Structure 1
């Protein structure tokens, strides 16, 4: 309950639409209740009809009304079910339509910040999975839970009016199904979902880094180690899913046992109370059979609640996205030229992990300095960059620019940081438009000068449409090195004082890599550069080298000093040079 209150305390996505469409929601719940009520009434009527027909087989007069009612309830159940499905999906589609409209407006307001603070997979998750999860929250959790509770209350009160002792006993038995089992399911599945999410998160992070360095694995002859490393999390996830499958089977079996006990209670009570006359005995089968249609909604309650942890994360994620827009109103602007980026005792760990990915790191980067940040895959280099630009909030410590916290400078972010990463963002539009994204006020001549500076002038002007050539989706019209140069031209137009190079040459061949690095450091010689890399090719371009391992700097110094004093650095340097 505490998690439920926390999730909806500042919710702007779910509760407002429940209130907006409350009339349609009440109709959906009524139709759902009537569907199962009709099923129960059909079984109740059928039990009486069978008993009465067996007692008086020669006369149809006594069973005419039950026969008509059997037909009426038999028709009513599928009709109510069909109308309920139409109404509930209409209700959900209205809400999802509002969700998508709101989401697109949110993305439009902070498109550039979302692009930098979320990976492509995260954006797709927000646009697809999270909205689908919230949709399923209504269809698979809210509706079954409310309908199940309505049936529970109806059965307990109905039987309690005839015999309060039996009503109390049914309240306890069915309470196990509608209260205890859902709470147990969400607690059990919550732990399992948390563990599975934790494994998947770590698996995706490691797999991305390892695939990008696949060449290194092959060169070192550790292909089988690479495959073994991927198999462990897959096996762990499969084991968790098997446990979930077994748990669902036993949960379903337990619900059936409780329903059986409920049926026996009704049989014993009706057999004891309704045998004074032959006509009263006809009602025994009616009470015993009426409970069976409730099995389906009662089972759906536990299953729907067990999926709550998944829905909760989606609700929290889209609410965080919305809250991020409000925070932009409180942002500051840097009032002077960039002088120093200072990182003061920075510590960070993810909420679903115990390990400190960044552990009490301090460093200062002055204007014009070139810093190389190295370390093996999974050591926190990408996390460190996200903390540096303000995408993540540290557990302790802070990052400042000219003494101003970077978290307060997000409005000014595009004028402070230029980022050249492994896969530059190129859109299916012209070369001119893609490069101009660095500075939308740049003239055509400015764009052409930037392209000439990165060595693409001759190539672009040799194309039939020249600067109006479409780069195609993700820049497929050009090679990897050409895509990086297009992105570099964009950074030149952006003219930000701090440039972050996040392994921009990882997918390039050695010759192209060397030429691109020479060009980058030559064109950006007046800029402050923080270069994340996993090997030492081109390390001579930087002033300082820092090795990040186990959350802190393991080695640091100039390339020349480290080569003389650190055997490990010397070995890696010689290996990259092919010695």
Structure 2
């Protein structure tokens, strides 16, 4: 119970929608109760009808009313069942639609932040499995448990009106099914089902990660090892499922035994209560048979309860994802003017849980149209500084502002402020036209073609059979590395953001292609503010200022010309990159 309260204490996913659609929920529960009430009433009426027909076979008049009721309850049961299924699935689909919309909006808000805190397979698991689990929470847990408890109360109270001692005995017997057995199922089978989901989730996450690197497995000659790694979790999941199947079988048998005892109690009681005359004896079979339709809802309670740990974990995960996004976004404002300056003011930064500072007392100003090169060996904080500039991370101390406004407050305008070209720009498995238009969804076909022509790919694209409708294949495999970079550059042209981040875009290109791409980038984006992160100095003549980052600090600062003339270390690096 404590875990139940803690799960829903700060819940933003389940409880709000229960309140939003409470009228429809009440209708679902009513229809579910009426389904089993009609089934029980049909069996009750049938028990009486059979006994009365056997006692008075000579005239139908004596059994006319039970015959009519049998028809009525026989029609009512499937009608209520159909209406309940239709209403419950309509209710769940409404909620799941809201869930998916909310989840996609949550991921979209801070996609890069989430990507750092979650593996790809983890994100896929949340998008697919966790939302499905929350959907099943209603269909397989909330509805069956509430309907089963309503039937339990109805049976106990109904018998209590006639005989309170028998009602207490029935409350104890049926309470084993609706209270004790569900609690036992949570402790035993629930833990097993949770373990199964955990193994399945880890398998999902690891498999996704390994599939993304499948080419490296094959190149290293370890493809068989890759296959063997998947076998262990598959076998563990199969073992847990077998154990779950056996447990459910024995639990079902136990429920049937308890129902048998309850029917036996009712038969003995009604035999004593109504055995005085032949007419009253007709009620014996009626009471005994009425209990049988309750087997299904009572059995569903235990299974529903045993699945609660899975649903709890999914609810916790989506709420944690929601909180991890919202807590990082302060109140958002609009820039309100054209971009003028980006300032880094006395910034320190260290990652959570680490004591060592990655960046130390950094101060930097980049004005509109200025070109800046950030240099330095791997591990010196260049990528971290970029994350701070765009708002993916928050400084430990100090501040980063655009036109005097903290970057953290401008995240809703992020796409209008920053364009990024990195080492591996992603091209989606769709057409060339759609991939480039991603930079500006409202761009016309002619504007997309102009951007492609500007990056020098018009001749290549128009030589293809499908031209601009050519499918680029997954991750842009249809094109070379340099061509993928140029298509991504065309996106930036359409995006028309004032600040362009170049995160080592030429690291995987040959020297000739690298020079061509850099010349093209700085020519096409000559009016933009460019912050270029690089390992080496090829093409550094394009920039206005150079910052050399070493051990979290700026060690060399100046124009390329000044540094070449006055800094021996810079001059050696520059000559080394030129092969001199």
Fold conserved between structures, TM > 0.5: yes
For 2:281, the equivalent position in structure 1 comes to 281
The TM-score, its normalising length taken from structure 2, stands at 0.68
Mapping 1:321-470, distance limit 5 Å: 324=325, 328-330=329-331, 336-338=342-344, 343-344=349-350, 346-347=352-353, 363-364=358-359, 368-372=374-378, 400=396, 418=420, 420=422, 424-426=426-428, 428=430, 434=436, 437=439, 456=457, 459=460
- 1:40 counterpart = 2:40: yes
Q: Closer, same or farther in 2 for the Cα pair 1:285/1:257, shift >3 Å? A: same
Q: Closer, same or farther in 2 for the Cα pair 1:386/1:122, shift >3 Å? A: farther
Q: Closer, same or farther in 2 for the Cα pair 1:82/1:59, shift >3 Å? A: same
Residue 77 of structure 1 deviates from its aligned partner by 1.5
For 1:111, the equivalent position in structure 2 comes to 108
In the alignment, the residues of structure 2 paired with residue 299 and residue 305 of structure 1 have an alpha-carbon distance, to the nearest angstrom, of 10
Tell whether the 8 Å contact from 1:498 to 1:527 is kept in structure 2 after alignment: yes
Point out the more displaced range, 431-440 or 174-183: 431-440
In the alignment, the residues of structure 2 paired with residue 231 and residue 38 of structure 1 have an alpha-carbon distance, to the nearest angstrom, of 49
Mapping 1:396-545, distance limit 5 Å: 400=396, 418=420, 420=422, 424-426=426-428, 428=430, 434=436, 437=439, 456=457, 459=460, 478-481=478-481, 482-487=483-488, 527-528=532-533
Q: Closer, same or farther in 2 for the Cα pair 1:135/1:503, shift >3 Å? A: farther
C-alpha deviations, 1:311-362, integer Å up to 9, x for none? 4444445555655358534369998445898553643xxxxxxxxxxx7665
C-alpha deviations, 1:407-434, integer Å up to 9, x for none? 8885686667947365614474655972
Residue 101 of structure 1 deviates from its aligned partner by 5.8
In the alignment, the residues of structure 1 paired with residue 457 and residue 273 of structure 2 have an alpha-carbon distance, to the nearest angstrom, of 94
Residue 231 of structure 1 deviates from its aligned partner by 1.4
Q: Closer, same or farther in 2 for the Cα pair 1:456/1:143, shift >3 Å? A: same
Point out the more displaced range, 292-301 or 408-417: 408-417
For 1:178, the equivalent position in structure 2 comes to 178
In the alignment, the residues of structure 2 paired with residue 313 and residue 419 of structure 1 have an alpha-carbon distance, to the nearest angstrom, of 37
Residue 302 of structure 1 deviates from its aligned partner by 2.1
Residue 99 of structure 1 deviates from its aligned partner by 4.7
- 1:70 counterpart = 2:70: yes
C-alpha deviations, 1:486-532, integer Å up to 9, x for none? 33665797686876579996xxxxxx67877888899799733599x
C-alpha deviations, 1:422-468, integer Å up to 9, x for none? 56144746559727729999xx9999799877x757645766998x6
Tell whether the 8 Å contact from 1:92 to 1:135 is kept in structure 2 after alignment: yes
In the alignment, the residues of structure 2 paired with residue 308 and residue 235 of structure 1 have an alpha-carbon distance, to the nearest angstrom, of 24
Residue 145 of structure 1 deviates from its aligned partner by 1.6
Q: Which secondary structure state, in structure 1, belongs to the residue aligned with residue 426 of structure 2?
A: coil
Tell whether the 8 Å contact from 1:428 to 1:475 is kept in structure 2 after alignment: no
C-alpha deviations, 1:273-328, integer Å up to 9, x for none? 33333333332222221111000111222223333344444444555565535853
Q: Closer, same or farther in 2 for the Cα pair 1:462/1:71, shift >3 Å? A: closer
Q: Closer, same or farther in 2 for the Cα pair 1:146/1:205, shift >3 Å? A: closer
Q: Which secondary structure state, in structure 1, belongs to the residue aligned with residue 75 of structure 2?
A: helix
Point out the more displaced range, 22-31 or 59-68: 59-68
For 1:87, the equivalent position in structure 2 comes to 87
Tell whether the 8 Å contact from 2:418 to 2:500 is kept in structure 1 after alignment: yes
For 1:199, the equivalent position in structure 2 comes to 199
Q: Closer, same or farther in 2 for the Cα pair 1:93/1:4, shift >3 Å? A: same
Q: Which secondary structure state, in structure 2, belongs to the residue aligned with residue 248 of structure 1?
A: helix
Point out the more displaced range, 17-26 or 153-162: 17-26
Mapping 1:250-329, distance limit 5 Å: 250-319=250-319, 324=325, 328-329=329-330
Tell whether the 8 Å contact from 2:420 to 2:502 is kept in structure 1 after alignment: yes
Tell whether the 8 Å contact from 2:141 to 2:308 is kept in structure 1 after alignment: yes
Q: Which secondary structure state, in structure 1, belongs to the residue aligned with residue 374 of structure 2?
A: coil
In the alignment, the residues of structure 2 paired with residue 20 and residue 526 of structure 1 have an alpha-carbon distance, to the nearest angstrom, of 47
In the alignment, the residues of structure 1 paired with residue 196 and residue 262 of structure 2 have an alpha-carbon distance, to the nearest angstrom, of 36
Q: Closer, same or farther in 2 for the Cα pair 1:432/1:21, shift >3 Å? A: closer
For 1:53, the equivalent position in structure 2 comes to 53
In the alignment, the residues of structure 2 paired with residue 309 and residue 227 of structure 1 have an alpha-carbon distance, to the nearest angstrom, of 31
Point out the more displaced range, 520-529 or 113-122: 520-529
Q: Closer, same or farther in 2 for the Cα pair 1:432/1:270, shift >3 Å? A: closer
Tell whether the 8 Å contact from 1:463 to 1:469 is kept in structure 2 after alignment: no
In the alignment, the residues of structure 1 paired with residue 129 and residue 35 of structure 2 have an alpha-carbon distance, to the nearest angstrom, of 30
For 1:5, the equivalent position in structure 2 comes to 5
Q: Closer, same or farther in 2 for the Cα pair 1:504/1:194, shift >3 Å? A: farther
In the alignment, the residues of structure 2 paired with residue 502 and residue 232 of structure 1 have an alpha-carbon distance, to the nearest angstrom, of 40
- How many residue pairs match? The answer is 502
